[in-house]
Amino acid sequence: MKKLANKTALVTGGSRGIGAAIVRRLAAEGANVAFTYARSAEKAEALAAEVNAAGGGRAIAIAADSAQAVDIIGAVNKTVTEFGGLDILVNNAGIYIGKDFQEHTIEEYDQVMSVNVKAVYVAALEAVKHLQPGGRIITIGSNMGDNAIGPQTTLYTMSKSALQGFTRGLARDLGPKGIAVTLVQPGPTDTDMNPADTPFADFARSRMALANYGTVEDIAGLVAFLASQEGRQITGSWVTIDGGMNA
C-alpha cells in the first residue's frame, strides 16, 4: 500500500521547481494533491493532467497569489471541498529579492515577508480547522535560515529564519492535537531559478561538503518521508538538506 494513500495534501507554489516535484511525489505515494500557482495557468494545468494520468493520487491546480491572505484561505477551503478534508499542508511558495541592504525598499520588505512568512502563517491558521490527529504542516525554508552565505541576502535570510520560530512554537501548540510541524531547509537545488550550471553554482559547490548540487527530487523525497507515518515523531525541528553547505 502506498504510504500516503487516502491522504489529501495542499502544496502552495506547486506548479514549478521544488513545488512541482513535491506534488508529483506526494501523488505517487497515493495522496490527492491540490496545489496553488500565481501565474502560468497552462503550466499548472499541464502538471495536474500529468499527475492524473500517472495513476496515483488526483491533482488539481488552484490559482492563488500567496501575497494575498484571502487567496490562501480560499485555496485551503477549495482543497477541503474538492477532496473532503485535509491531512498535509506543504508551505512551499517563496520569493527572493537580493540586493545591497541600503537599496531595499519598504515595499520589497512587505512583498518578501507577505509571501515567505505571512502566507505560511495564514495557511496554517486556516488548515488547522481541518487537520486531524496525524496531520502534518511542512514548510519549505532555506539553509540560509541558519547561515547568510554572503551579502545581499539580509531580507531573504530574515524571512527564512522567522520560519524556525514559527515551527517551534506551532509544534507546541498543535502537539496535543497530534499534528506534527516541521521545516525543510534546502540548500542549492537545481531549478530554473537556480540552475546547476552557473558561476554561482560553482561557488556553492565550493562551500559544500558534498559537491553535489541538490535536485528537486531530493527535497520531494524528504517531504514525503515527513508526511508519512515514518515521520510521525519529528516535530518542532528542521532538516537541512544542503550537501553540507552549513556544516
Read off the pLDDT band of 193 (50, 70, 90).
confident
Residue 120: per-residue pLDDT = 98
**Annotation: CATH topology of 8-240:** Rossmann fold (3.40.50)
Residue 68: per-residue pLDDT = 98
Read off the pLDDT band of 30 (50, 70, 90).
very high
In the predicted model, what is the mean pLDDT of residues 10-24? Answer: 98
Q: What is the pTM of this model?
A: 0.97
Residue 176: per-residue pLDDT = 98
Alpha carbon distance 191, 204 (integer Å): 14
Q: Cell numbers 513535491 correspond to what residue? A: 22
Given the DSSP bridges, would you call strands 59-63 and 32-37 parallel, antiparallel or unpaired? parallel
State the greatest distance between any 2 C-alpha atoms of the chain, in Å, as a whole number: 54
Which is higher by pLDDT, 174 or 200? 174
Residue 242: per-residue pLDDT = 97
Residue 50: per-residue pLDDT = 98
Read off the pLDDT band of 192 (50, 70, 90).
confident
In the predicted model, what is the mean pLDDT of residues 90-111? Answer: 97
Residue 124: per-residue pLDDT = 98
Residue 1: per-residue pLDDT = 81
Of the residues 96, 121, 156, 213, only one is catalytic, namely 156
For 130-167, the pLDDT digits (tens) are 999 999 999 999 999 999 988 999 999 999 999 999 99
Residue 95: per-residue pLDDT = 96
For 48-76, the pLDDT digits (tens) are 999 999 989 999 999 999 999 999 999 99
Alpha carbon distance 68, 115 (integer Å): 8
Q: Which three cell numbers stand for residue 124?
A: 496554517
Is the pLDDT at 227 greater than 90? The verdict is yes
Q: Which three cell numbers stand for residue 61?
A: 491546480
Residue 149: per-residue pLDDT = 87
Alpha carbon distance 182, 159 (integer Å): 16
Given the DSSP bridges, would you call strands 59-63 and 88-91 parallel, antiparallel or unpaired? unpaired
Among residues 125, 93, 123, which one has the least CA distance to residue 111? Answer: 93
SS3 31: coil
Segment holding 201, helix H or strand E: helix 199-207
Is the pLDDT at 200 greater than 90? The verdict is no
Is 37 known to be catalytic? no
- The phi and psi torsions of 182 (rounded to 5 degrees) equal -135, 165
Residue 211: per-residue pLDDT = 85
